């Protein structure tokens, strides 16, 4: 059961250019299974929200022109929601979709999700491309805020156990 | 684990949930005490006390703007916490670790 332990925490987030960043992570498993975990709401509900949070909506209409929306009704910052439209789908290898963080409706990004499988190891790449550098940085900053919250919660857990 | 006093250790300074709430709020941008009072819902003296603790460990800095003082997060002082956990990367690492767990538990 611990085959994956060496991969925990191995995701890399890198700046690609003035408007893009990329998330890369390898998994032990087939592209088909990873595709299912990424695109079926029953799975997404288990991995997308932070511990202690739950998605109040997780809708995925996986077809070109179909839409997706993830929403959390109650957070310290009020309701949070993300949505987009699927532009291209090539199961189980590639999805291109738009993404809008609803509190910042003008900053629509294009996400290219790619799976490459080799010898039972599947590498996931998400390339997030914004229209402007400011929008990209705003995205990283909003994530930073959530990441900071997560980091501080862990500090609390550590302090609580000392 | 022995820890230094709150006044010198940024990890302890952020151990208080209300101070964390103030920091997360300042991560969105500079704010006055009255703005923070509105955001965190604490009385102004309590917010000021928390800001004083955060300033002592240099996690928060302030500047005068007219008759107000504006507080901001001092990112470099968060470096020990950032380096340890990452921030944006930590968020995605956590998500993708959960994806990994789902994949592994369902593999034969």
**CATH code, A114:** 3.30.530.20
Question: Is B28 inside a domain boundary?
Answer: yes
Write out the residues of chain B at the interface with chain A, using a CB-CB cutoff of 8 A. Answer: 1, 3, 11-12, 14-15, 17, 20-21, 23-24, 27-28, 78, 81-82, 84-107
Question: Is A2 inside a domain boundary?
Answer: no
Q: What is the mean pLDDT of residues A70-76?
A: 84
Strand partners, A81: A71
Q: Which residues span the domain enclosing B20?
A: 10-78
* Residue B34 exposed, middle or buried by CB count within 10 Å (0-12, 13-18, 19+): exposed
Q: Which residues span the domain enclosing A54?
A: 7-160
Question: Is B91 inside a domain boundary?
Answer: no
**CATH code, B46:** 1.10.10.10
Please give the model's pTM, rounded to 2 decimal places. Answer: 0.65
Question: Is A111 inside a domain boundary?
Answer: yes
Say which range, A57-61, B3-7, B27-31, has the weakest mean pLDDT: B3-7
CB < 8 Å to B107, chain A: 28-29, 33
Rounded Cα gap, residues A116 and A123, in angstroms: 5
Question: Is A41 inside a domain boundary?
Answer: yes
A155: left (phi over 0), alpha (psi -120 to 50) or beta: alpha
Cβ contacts below 8 Å, chain A against chain B, sum to: 123
Provide the domain count of chain B: 1
Provide the domain count of chain A: 1
Q: Which residue has the higher pLDDT, A36 or B92?
A: A36
Structure confidence by residue, pLDDT tens digits, A12-32:
888 788 888 899 999 999 999
Question: Is A27 inside a domain boundary?
Answer: yes
Whether this model's ipTM surpasses 0.85 comes out as: no
Question: Is B89 inside a domain boundary?
Answer: no
CB-nearest partner of B89 from A11, A33, A34: A11
């Amino acid at each position: 059961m611990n085959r994956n332990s060496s991969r925990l925490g191995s995701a890399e987030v890198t700046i690609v250019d003035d408007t893009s960043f990329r998330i890369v992570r390898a998994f032990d498993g087939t592209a088909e299974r990873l595709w299912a975990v990424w695109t079926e709401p029953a799975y997404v509900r288990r991995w997308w929200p932070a511990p202690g949070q739950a998605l109040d909506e997780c809708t995925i209409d996986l077809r070109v022109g179909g839409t997706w929306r993830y929403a959390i009704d109650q957070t310290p910052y009020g309701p949070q929601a993300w949505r987009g439209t699927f532009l291209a789908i090539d199961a189980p290898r590639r999805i291109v979709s738009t993404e809008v963080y609803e509190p910042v409706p003008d900053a629509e990004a294009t996400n290219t999700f790619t799976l490459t499988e080799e010898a039972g190891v599947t590498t996931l790449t998400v390339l997030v491309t914004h229209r402007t550098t400011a929008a990209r940085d705003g995205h990283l900053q909003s994530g930073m805020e959530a990441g900071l919250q997560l980091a501080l919660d862990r500090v609390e857990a550590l302090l609580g156990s000392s | 684990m022995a820890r230094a006093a709150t006044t010198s250790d940024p990890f302890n300074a952020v151990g208080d949930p209300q101070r964390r709430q103030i920091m997360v709020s300042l991560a969105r941008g500079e704010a006055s005490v009255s703005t923070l009072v509105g955001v965190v819902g604490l009385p102004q003296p309590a917010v000021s006390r928390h800001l004083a603790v955060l300033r002592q460990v240099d996690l928060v800095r302030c500047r005068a703007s007219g008759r107000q003082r504006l507080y901001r997060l001092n990112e470099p002082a968060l470096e020990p916490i950032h380096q340890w956990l990452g921030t944006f990367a930590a968020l995605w690492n956590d998500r993708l670790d959960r994806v990994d767990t789902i994949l592994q538990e369902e593999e034969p």
